Amino acid sequence: METYDALLASISPASGTGRTILDPATGDAVGEAPIHSLEELEQAITDAQAAQPAWAALGHAGRSASLLKAAEAVERSAEELARLLSREQGKPLNGPNARFEVGACAAWLRVAATTPLEPETVVDDGETRAELHYKPIGVVGAIGPWNWPMMITVWQIAPALRMGNAVVVKPSEYTPLGVLALVKVINEELPEGLLTAVSGGRDVGARLAEHPAIGKIMFTGSTATGKAIIKSSAGTVKRLTLELGGNDAGIVLPDADPKAIAEDLFWGAFINTGQTCAALKRLYVHEDIYDAVCEDLVAVAKAMPMGNGLDENNVLGPLQNKAQYDVVANLVEAARASGARILLGGNPDTTKPGYFYPTTLVADIDNDNPLITEEQFGPALPIIRYSSVDEAVEKANALDVGLGASVWSGNRDAAREVAARLQAGTVWINRHGAVDPRIPFGGAKQSGYGLEFGIEGLKALGVPQVING
């Protein structure tokens, strides 16, 4: 285990040759990230190709043993990684934030290592025997986002490695340091060249997506970038898993208890200060309990402290970058101008440093308002009144995205009936956004395709092969 300063120094380039990464809470320098070139990407891919066959030859047992040791390595450096994550991304140490994210990295490594995947006998009738196996793809390219940079990187690399692949990681330009540090820690338990992080610009990501030696791309990010990856990968017919933008709807049925669900509603919407693809971003509440839900949500939101992530008291932090801050601010101001009612927040203090946008709740808003139809990806939740369940379902399904959704009710059977009508990859009952490494996760419509996690996630990182005879 290295100290924080030693870990940061180990991933830093020679002084003056990198790009300075700033703390979104203070504007202070966190460190310098290397600017890797296309030539360095080529070398990483060459090294991955060389390391992959021996890794594949270890079999599931050997690879799983290494991944379990990698989980232990992450835990040994957990506090140092969490501190770096908090400074670079902005999320607080406590709450469902930086320490939580690093802990999730270890958990996903362990589940990827221990999930059984045996050959499946599909026909055995005495005359024909057919078995379905999964073989390594080769080299996988993993392109990650800035909102959960460490955790989502592990979502990509853990199953890829378990299935016998080598991996080249391209972190977001906003949050490269944490991913570089995480990969360094994991590499304490892996063969050299098998896993490499290349911290470059868009040209590196574009080349990774089109490179003929890359057999699959794992991407989490915007729908627009996902579409570009689809186009650039077409020439080599790459396999793709795309987890793209979401604008998740939640429906509160009239029998729900507003006070009982208020805190879970809050964290469904405001986890990571709203910067989560599968966060609750549109809340539809029946008119009978609309005012009560609004009142209880305001009470919960007022009690959640926002500030510098290194302060142990805070559970909400800044937006990670100025561009995202502007998106949220502009959408809230457009909602205000349209006549929507701002229940809480909406007035950022621009005299203080950092991209802090206050926790904002917006009521009495039309369903075609941009704050509803566009993904805000920040701490602003619109609350829409509805009269009938049919109306709520229609509005929830109206957009061209469908990552997640939720239904809130005291009657689980009634909630499941509504859930079955929603066009989303996952529908939660009485919670929102609770992902589990054992449970498949993926989007519908333009929220992407392919599944991650569990057995299905492992299969997605292999080439299916039928042995017939």
Tell how strand 248-252 and strand 239-243 pair up. unpaired
Looking at the predicted structure, is the pLDDT value of residue 90 above 90? yes
Q: How far apart are the C-alpha atoms of 69 and 190, rounded to whole Å?
A: 9
Query: What would the mean pLDDT of 80-88 be, rounded to a whole number?
Result: 98
CA gap 67, 458 in Å, rounded: 14
Q: Which member of 101, 105, 277, 294 is catalytic? A: 277
Q: Is-contact 135 121, C-beta < 8 A?
A: no
Instruction: Report the distance separating Cα 111 and Cα 344, nearest Å.
Output: 40
Distances (CA, A) of 263 to 242, 257, 355, 381, 407: 31, 12, 24, 14, 15
Exposure class string for 92-120: b at 16+ Cβ within 10 A, else e: bbbbbbbbbbbebbbbbbbbbbebebeee
pLDDT for the residue numbered 153: 98
Environment class of 336 (CB within 10 Å of its CB; exposed 0-12, middle 13-18, buried 19+): middle
Phi first, then psi: give them for residue 405, nearest 5 degrees.
-160, 170
What's the whole-model pTM score? Answer: 0.96
In the block, residue with structure tokens 């709807």? 249
Is the pLDDT score of 1 beyond 90? no
Residue 273 has what pLDDT? 98
State how far the Cα of 248 lies from the Cα of 372, in Å rounded to an integer.
10
Give the whole-number percent of the chain exceeding pLDDT 90.
98
- Compute the Cα dihedral for 429, 434, 438, 440 and give only its sign: positive
Question: Under a CB-based contact definition with an 8 Å cutoff, are residues 387 and 365 in contact?
Answer: no
- pLDDT value of residue 50: 98
Among candidate residues 464, 453, 465, the one with its CA nearest the CA of residue 218: 453
Compute the average pLDDT of residues 30-47: 97
Specify the amino acid at residue 12: S
Q: Is residue 467 a contact partner of residue 133, using CB atoms and an 8 Å limit?
A: yes
**Pairing assessment for the beta strands 341-344 and 360-363 based on DSSP bridges:** antiparallel
Fold of 248-436: Aldehyde Dehydrogenase; Chain A, domain 2 (3.40.309)
pLDDT at position 244 is 95
- Clarify whether 277 is annotated catalytic: yes
The pLDDT value given to residue 14: 83
Q: Where are the alpha helices (DSSP H) in 223-320?
A: 223-233, 258-270, 290-302
The residue from 80, 243, 375, 452 that is catalytic is 243
33 Cβ contact partners less than 8 Å away, ≥ 6 residues apart: 11, 12, 13, 18, 19, 21, 176, 177, 180, 199
Q: Which tens digits make up the pLDDT trace of 172-200?
A: 999 999 999 999 999 999 999 999 999 99
Written as one letter, the residue type at 238 is K
Domains of the chain, by residue range, sit at 4-244+447-468, 248-436
Q: Among candidates 110, 403, 384, 181, which has minimal Cα distance to 277?
A: 403
Tokens at residue 221, please?
Answer: 């990010």
Q: Which CATH class is domain 4-244+447-468?
A: alpha beta
Q: What is the pLDDT of residues 379-417, one digit of tens each?
A: 999 999 999 999 999 999 999 999 999 999 999 999 999
Q: For residue 231, give every residue at least 6 positions away whose Cβ sits within 8 Å of its Cβ, in sequence order, or none.
A: none
How sure is the predictor about 2, in pLDDT bands with cuts at 50, 70 and 90? confident
Strand pairing class (401-402; 444-445): antiparallel
C-alpha span between 255 and 346 (Å, rounded): 30
